[in-house]
A and B are shown apart, each in its own frame.
Chain A
Amino acid sequence: MAQGQVKRVSGPVVVASGLEGPRMFDVVRVGELGLVGEVIRLVEGDATIQVYEDTTGIRPGDKVENTGQALSVELGPGLLKSIYDGIQRPLNVIQQQGGDFIARGLSAAPLDEKAVWEFTPTKKVGEKVVPGDILGTVPETPLLTHRVLVPPGVEGTLRRLAAGRYTVRDTIGEVQTAEGKSVPLGLSHRWKVRVPRPVTRKLPPVVPLITGQRVIDTFFPIAKGGTAAIPGPFGSGKTVTQQQLAKWAEADVVVYVGCGERGNEMTEVLTEFPHLEDPKSKRPLMERTILIANTSNMPVAAREASIYTGITIAEYYRDMGYDVALMADSTSRWAEALREISGRLEEMPGEEGYPAYLGRRLAEFYERAGQVEVLGPGARPGSVTVIGAVSPPGGDVSEPVSQNTLRVTRVFWALDASLANRRHFPSINWLSSYSLYTGDLGPWYAEHVAKDWAALRNEAIELLQKEAELQEIVQLVGSDALPEREKAVLDTARMIREDYLQQSAYDEVDTYTSIGKQFRMLRAILDFGRRETEVVGKGVALSKAVELPVRVKIARMKTQSEKEGLGAFDLLDREMTDGFRVLEEEVVA
């Protein structure tokens, strides 16, 4: 261990001299407390360090030790259900060590070293193994089987591998490489957070990540392995949307990174998730979730690290062949951490004080998403979907973080303050949002939902666009001046908005809608609209059609449980047909 000395301290940035052979991004320990830091600049033998903990009390002359290791995470069974800070310290262990307030200089093993895992091998001694090969399995939670992989870089003949009960510190086997070297195998290994884990190749995204959120699945879907940005001003529902996705997205593993956000929000996730059921397996959602919590008042440098910690863990589960979804809330806070550190380094600022490398760093992060063929034989697929919230100042997306994010993400869910103010949630604006995956995913929807899915979706979007145009006229002359036909269009559009797009995260049924139900709901609304326009054309007063009791029933479909299947929709269709027939007959009579 090469020991150096603090030369200068200013907030989270410390300059140290006398370190022996420091390398960029080496992890160091600063002061008597051993605060964790990372080398981010080297000038004439002096190392500039960003410290992941509060530096109050650090003074020139304090010792600095180089661990010689880059910032890395430990990957193995026991990650699920954990809550970590930005540098993978388990917050529950930290609490036991240091109390309710996070004390400094604590260190704790990321994975429970005492937990015993039942390992069942799938490979036999004597077999050749390559990186990504599945050595065996461990039941990590009832929701997920942990596949123990040959780590990247290890290749050779399996000399030893035995079933049994192991901790993450035990050796489970041994590989002999071509050079005759023997490499021990364990349930876990470490990986540098700033280095993407290797894959065989990237694949085109063709399967949607179904989220149970109607406006997303129907209008602006995201593919498994895709990237999405959710920008919006405060109060527009970014966090609720992120949490809804974390709850209901059809992923095997969810990594939720609370990056510079509210402490109580993490508590909410911690309190709620153990009680929420996965819609398919009926197991608690917590069993597939990993939380990274670096709240806004926790040290700023660790906030910078937190999204790398999150995505590395996500890649690890992807490598097992799982579909992983990562939610980062919020990447703006991460960018601000970059800006703060950059400012302390007195770097030349780019736009709005952000460092010139902001765009590159964002792009690098989102590029770690993707539908891939993972390492190892068998061409197994796996995916990491990344959904990043952006918090633009004043909700103005012309600022650098939003703009750089939009350049690299393919789905844009534009949260709209005016919708949020009238409590239209999720407040995703249907006119300005987009998904570039719609085309790629079309075949999947046609095959798995309905052939006319795309046609229905387009019809709905056209109606909403037509509504926006008509609203401009209404603004000038009032709605009474419109012909009945166009009033019917407005009415249908209103149904789409209120009875379809609005979805309550707090209603136990409405919070998740299966894709099959989404289709039936949308079809019922559009059917009603078409018939409404039709009978109005035949001389029926629009107010009569609007007052049909079936219309209220359509509006209440979203809170109708799917437990008894979708039979209710057949009744609804029949009632609709009857209702409109009566109206037509009245006119004829």
Chain B
Amino acid sequence: MSAPRTPPVPVDYRTIERIAGPLLFVEGVDNAAYGEIVEITLPDGDRRTGQVLESRRGLAIIQVFGATLGMNDTSTTVKFSGEVARLACSDEMLGRVFDGLGTPRDGGPKLIAKDRREIVGNAMNPYSREQPSEFIQTGVSAIDGSNTLVRGQKLPIFSAAGLPHNALAAQIVRQAKVLNASENFAVIFGAMGITSEEANYFLKEFEDTGALQRTVVFLNLSSDPAMERVITPRMALTTAEYLAYERDMHVLVVLTDMTNYCEALREVSAAREEVPGRRGYPGYLYTDLAQLYERAGKLKGRKGSITQFPILTMPADDITHPIPDLTGYITEGQVVMSRDLQRRGVYPPIDVLLSLSRLMNQGIGKGRTREDHRGVVDQLFAGYATGKDQRALSAIVGEEALSDVDRIYLRIADRFERRFVNQGYEEDRSIETTLDIGWDVLAELPERELKRIKPEFIQKYRKAPAPAG
């Protein structure tokens, strides 16, 4: 994939002209390649890695992965490797823990390189993609029922400080399965700037459920250099591609927290004095995020798949903030967490109306989930939305001012939250259970209101109306 030629002989440069933020400006370099990896040796012998961000005759601008602490502009040396960033991939990675740059951090041995892959993957040819359509049962009704996940999808969790996104992610990793299939699976966990407490939570979860042996962890903690975070998700996804397309595995990639990743990008952009886009984030944030998220998918004629679960925290719960906003434009839907539901004790507090799965339609219906799935879910959405409106209304005018039908909708909204969305952290619901609960929620609605469901399914699945209340 790289240029077919021998790289120049590595030379040490001691010509750092300027150090600004995470950037080094090295003079006298005439032929650094864009994207080339460099090794930086500090006066005290310490080594860091960096990458060429811009190259001109006589100048190379280098982004340092790690702190610039201790570097100087006299005796620090920069060595150009002649290579772009690569990661040595092998089966032995399963069960191991690496740092954000792919170096072992579990005290285990260094990996023997089997397959050294460029970490900036080429774009998947849209013509080679296979349309994702295999239903993944997560056992969580708010996802399986109303925002169904399929293999090869990228479905982020939009969360915020104080919401149980980690618990939900762990529950999904634990419970996710494709019905009637027992195939090779693996989990890649890429952590960017999370606390050691959060990291330990996930590691313990994986260990308790026995998933650790099938997991590759890339860990960049909040105390680790922020610039490493720019690389971490690429390490995770490169490993995922290796396992999926070379080893035929179904890979689930959890990336957390994308907000920290974007902030690291912003830092680099600010240091380069680029024209900022919205809120100081670089204008190419969309393209950059797309290069990560679009690495999810399936390929025709290959067994493996990559399903992505990026987690991001919305600053100030703001879904229009550039990070969730651009993410939502790239990913195939989103699972949105709601503080309001959390306050009312609903777990998982998923705002079903704001959430969406764009690939849902390919994964549901007869032969995949159940024939009535689409209709029931559409009806639930409509009923819940109407019920929420009535709830807002009754807060002003009182429940008495509502019509009888409106009061039914009000109860449906309550039941939907309490019975359908709400479930246990350990509760693993089958898709049939989820849909049956959906019919329970709708039971009180007169048949003429069930416009979204085909009459034959109403005959077949509708429950007798439950007593009011």
Contact = CB atoms under 8 A, between A and B. Distances in A.
A339 B31 CA distance: 28
Interface stretch (B87-95, B208-216, B251-259, B277-285): B277-285
Interface residues of B, number: 92
A23 interface: no
Contacts of B402: 478-480
20 contacts: A32-B5, A54-B122, A56-B35, A57-B3, A59-B55, A60-B30, A83-B127, A95-B127, A262-B294, A263-B297, A297-B291, A339-B283, A352-B278, A474-B393, A475-B393, A478-B397, A478-B402, A480-B400, A498-B451, A547-B448
A235 B333 contact: yes
A353 B330 contact: no
Nearest to A347: B275
Contact of B353 (A91, A95, A340, A422): A422
Interface in B152-175: 152-153
Interface of B: 1-5, 30-36, 53-57, 84, 118, 120-132, 152-153, 245, 274-278, 283-284, 286-287, 290-291, 293-295, 297, 299-300, 302, 319-322, 325-326, 328-330, 332-334, 353-354, 356, 358-359, 361-362, 374, 378, 381-382, 385-386, 393, 396-398, 400-403, 406, 447-448, 451, 454-455
A61 B31 contact: yes
Contact of A477 (B5, B382, B397): B397
A32 B401 contact: no
A169 B260 CA distance: 54
A59 B31 contact: yes
A264 B127 contact: no
A421 B275 contact: no
A59 B287 contact: no
A398 interface: no
Contact of A339 (B277, B329, B386): B277
B32 A59 contact: yes
B23 to A, nearest CB: 13
Given A32-B5, A395-B320, A498-B451, A101 B127 contact: no
A100 interface: yes
A404 interface: no
A295 B126 contact: yes
Nearest to A333: B286
Contact of B121 (A32, A101, A422): A101
A11 B274 CA distance: 13
9 tightest CB-CB pairs across the interface, nearest first? A478-B401, A394-B320, A422-B385, A296-B290, A56-B35, A234-B328, A297-B294, A478-B397, A8-B56
A59 B3 CA distance: 10
Contact of B283 (A31, A353, A478): A353
Interface stretch (A267-275, A431-439, A526-534): A267-275
A102 B397 contact: no
Contacts of B152: 264
A58 interface: yes
Given A61-B31, A262-B330, A547-B448, A296 B287 contact: yes
Given A235-B334, A551-B448, A295 B31 contact: no
Contacts of B283: 336, 339-340, 343, 353
B55 A60 contact: yes
A264 B359 contact: yes
Interface in A329-343: 333, 336, 339-340, 343
Given A31-B3, A506-B361, A552-B448, A57 B35 contact: yes
A479 B401 contact: yes
Interface string A515-553: 000000000000000000000000000000001000110
Contact of B56 (A60, A339, A396): A60
A485 interface: no
Contacts of B396: 475-476
B367 to A, nearest CB: 16
B84 A56 contact: yes
A349 interface: yes
A72 B30 CA distance: 34
A393 B330 contact: no
